[in-house]
Structure 1
Amino acid sequence: MPRNNPAKTRHICVAGVSGLAGAHIARTALALGWRVTGTLRDVNDTSKTVPLMAMPGAKDRLRLVSADTRQSDSILNALVDTDALVIACLPSIRSAPDGTPASKLDHSSGLKYCIDPARAACSTLIEAAYKSAVFDIVLVSSTASIEPEPEPATKDELLHYSDLDSQIRDGKFIAAQKTALETIAVQLSQEYDLRLTILLSGMIVGPGVLPCHADGHILKHLRDLSVDAKPWHDQIPAGSMSLVHPVDLAAFCLAALQNPEAEGRYLAVRKSWAWSDIYSEIANFVPAQALPTDVSKGTETTRPSQFNFARRDSLSSPQYGLAAMISGFYQWLDDHTYTETTKVDPDTAARTVDA
């Protein structure tokens, strides 16, 4: 497997460039002087292409292309002249086509609508990379694939894995998607002798880049709490959640591409916080009526997950804590600075996309 020179200016393909993670990764790569080809479903969607092309450096070094993971030729087109593939286009499939939530699906439907499409999309991307002689791949995955049972005192990405069969049997199809993605990605990267880095991301919280980011699963909940006073939870969950700022996630990704020795799984979270702590920060920005009630007296709370961050810190040390994540999102939402990007001349954006 050829190793790229990390000192050279690279040309990476970000699959899913209009997503929260993908847009931040592309923006960080452009800031390094790299070239980026970004895929999205429709390059004629100016609500996405215009703000993307407004990022610093995008006019000269960002190419946008339409791509569909069900059509391998579109992926091959996106990979032309690139030397790395970042897979950030596989968000969790949370429902069946008829709207049935993933948690309510039976075994066969969960496989058909959640697991199998994720596997197929990941396979298409990695096989296209191999055919294009792109040997560096970064997969943005999730901590859902590092949830062994029982939970260890300290989780280690090289020691602990979720059991896919158990997740499927228990109907945890959203979590199982991430475990299935990793399984097929590792299998194909070994078969094709590719360098695969897997980032185990937590819940991504922070400022968006595109207006549509406020409509994303997690950020939509945060927006609705503030704008519509619409509760997310009726009662504060007794558990915890692992979080990462999108700028830190992008830094992990670019650090992996810059380090030719980086390979395998890396935790990509700041840490895990109790939901009570998360809501304490949210309370600074939303009306009281939108907040959940406290955990019922006598309810047993679980300790936030603990992690061994030695490998993570060998890539990059995260800069943003919980307060910065929550405040960063709400400041972005309040400032509406992202709407200014829609004033960029659409004709300028059109000259840099491939229909």
Structure 2
Amino acid sequence: MTMKVCVTGANGFIASHIVKQLLDEGYIVNGCVRDATNEKKVNHLKEMEDGGTSTTTGRLTLFSTGNLGENINFESSSLFDDAIRDCDAIIHAATPVAFGLKDGKKSIYDPAMLSTKEILKSIERVASKTLKTFVLTSSMSAIAPKPEPKIKTEDCWSDEKLQIEGGRWYDATKTAQEKFVLEYIKEYTTKEGKAPFRFVAICPTLVLGPMLQQGSVNATMGYLQHMCRNGNGIDKETGKQKKARNDSMSFIDVRDTASHHVKALQDPNAEGRYMSVTATSLHWNDIFALLKELYPLMPDVPHCDDDILAEPTKFDHTRMNTLNVNCRNAKEMLRDAIEDLKSKGHL
């Protein structure tokens, strides 16, 4: 029997690639979106089919589930019931992503946490006998303890309270989501004598790459777009380009992090959290040099010339590599992301 998978936030940047890969591999997909009648937002999903032709497969059904967390009575809410009913697995990829919000608690944290609780209640009501796997899109921001360890592994956990105090609401959300689902599983197992499902958390770093969604640029690709146009920004005092930061950044291609989700779903032995990050992190000196090579129109960004340069973050990929995804390197990913922005008229 063909597996049925529910994907939340199905028309989002990462989730669109997850949906495509699932359809390409023959799964039945129930996609949750805010409004399934909004053609501009969902048409790219309806056009998906094996091989990329523009006809529907008959294996994708979209469900309107409204704004995340809009129903505070999640105990009795049935917004997700039809989408989750009788599913074998759920990939919960929906989380608001935006930069510079004044009220991150209201805009990001509360909707994400309430919707997660709402989905778990829906599973209890309509899919407790069929659902075997729950895959959560988490983030490397949940694997960011302070001080930073010499080598990051999946055993590293962020401090949610410190993230909230620092106003890093998206980061705090991802840390809290993972911990909440783990606590839910613990309580359920104690009560029922067995786990409710196999739980996997995929933790991507900064995600870039080709956009399947139509129209506006998503938040992370907008970040890349901004750098290509503006470099590191102008110093208000000097009127000149700011120097590169004395820090590092890691990346993952959207197609590769989508593959991490799908592989984790397919592997019955995959459980727990997995990083989703390229082989190496790069110092911002190297990032801007690489961006200038790939997009010569980017303004020149002066190198950081501090006496001691920050050492790029190191990762232990042992666990991630068990998912058997051959990830693109940073240059390949940035090249493809820039080409995608250019081809769609965003650069």
TM-score by length of 2: 0.83
Per-residue deviation, 1:117: 3.0
Q: Which moved more, 1:312-321 or 1:139-148?
A: 312-321
Q: Deviations over 1:133-152 (max 9, x none)?
A: 22311001111111112211
Q: Which residue of 2 aligns with 1:75?
A: 80
Query: Deviation string for 1:88-108 (max 9, x for gaps)?
Result: 111335455xxx2x6xxxxxx
SS of the residue corresponding to residue 144 of structure 2 reads coil
Residues 1:267 and 2:238 aligned together: no
Residue number in structure 2 paired with 1:204: 207
Q: Which of 14, 18, 42 is residue 7 of structure 2 equivalent to?
A: 14
Q: 1:28 to 1:132 in 2, by over 3 A?
A: same
Show structure 1 runs of 5+ residues with no match. Answer: 1-7, 103-109, 338-355
Structure 1's consecutive aligned runs of 4 or more residues displaced over 6 angstroms after TM superposition are: none
Deviations 1:240-283 (A, max 9, x none): 12211111111111111111121111111113222222222221
Match of 1:131 in 2: 125
1:17 CA drift (Å): 0.9
CA contact (8 A) 2:7 2:91 kept: yes
Q: Tell me the SS of whatever aligns to 2:249.
A: strand
* Structure in which a larger fraction of residues adopt helix: 1
Q: Which residue matches 2:20? A: 27
- The answer to whether structure 1 residue 318 and structure 2 residue 347 are counterparts is no
User: Any idea what SS the aligned residue of 1:199 has?
Assistant: strand
Alpha-carbon separation, structure 1, partners of 2:175 and 2:265: 23
The range that moved more, 297-306 or 319-328, is 297-306
Query: 1:303 deviation in Å?
Result: 1.4
Quote how far apart the aligned CAs of 1:18 are: 0.8
Q: Which has the higher contact order (CA 8 A, sep 6+)?
A: 1
Give unmatched runs, 5+ long, in structure 2: 51-55, 72-76, 189-194, 234-241
Cα gap change, 1:237 to 1:132, in 2 (>3 Å)? farther
Match of 1:60 in 2: 58
How far apart, in 1, do the equivalents of 2:164 and 2:41 lie?
35
- Select the residue among 219, 222, 226 that pairs with 1:220: 222
Deviation of 1:224 after TM superposition, in Å, equals 4.0
Q: Distance in 2 between matches of 1:288 and 1:16?
A: 34
Q: 1:289 to 1:51 in 2, by over 3 A?
A: closer
Q: State, as a whole percentage, how many aligned pairs show the same letter.
A: 27
Quick one: structure 1 residues 118 and 93, their matched pair in 2 at CA, closer, same or farther if it must change by over 3 Å? farther
Superposed CA RMSD: 2.3
- Contact 1:92–1:177, Cα closer than 8 Å, also in 2: no
Q: What are the within-5 Å matches in structure 2 for residues 1-355 of structure 1?
A: 9-57=2-50, 58-68=56-66, 69-70=68-69, 71=71, 72-92=77-97, 94=99, 96=101, 100=102, 111-133=105-127, 134-157=131-154, 159-192=155-188, 193=195, 194-212=197-215, 215-226=217-228, 229-233=229-233, 234-271=242-279, 272-288=281-297, 290-295=299-304, 297-298=305-306, 300-336=308-344
TM-score for both structures, normalised by structure 1: 0.81
Which residue identity lines up with residue 139 of structure 1 in the other structure?
L
Q: Deviations over 1:205-231 (max 9, x none)?
A: 11111124x5111211323455xx334
Q: Distance in 2 between matches of 1:114 and 1:218?
A: 15
Q: Output the amino acid matched with 1:290.
A: P
The answer to whether the Cα contact below 8 Å between 1:195 and 1:263 also exists between their aligned partners in 2 is yes
Deviations 1:169-196 (A, max 9, x none): 3333332111111111211233332211
Letter of the aligned partner of 2:38 in structure 1? D
Residue type at the aligned position of 1:26: V
User: Quick one: distance in 2 between partners of 1:111 and 1:125?
Assistant: 20
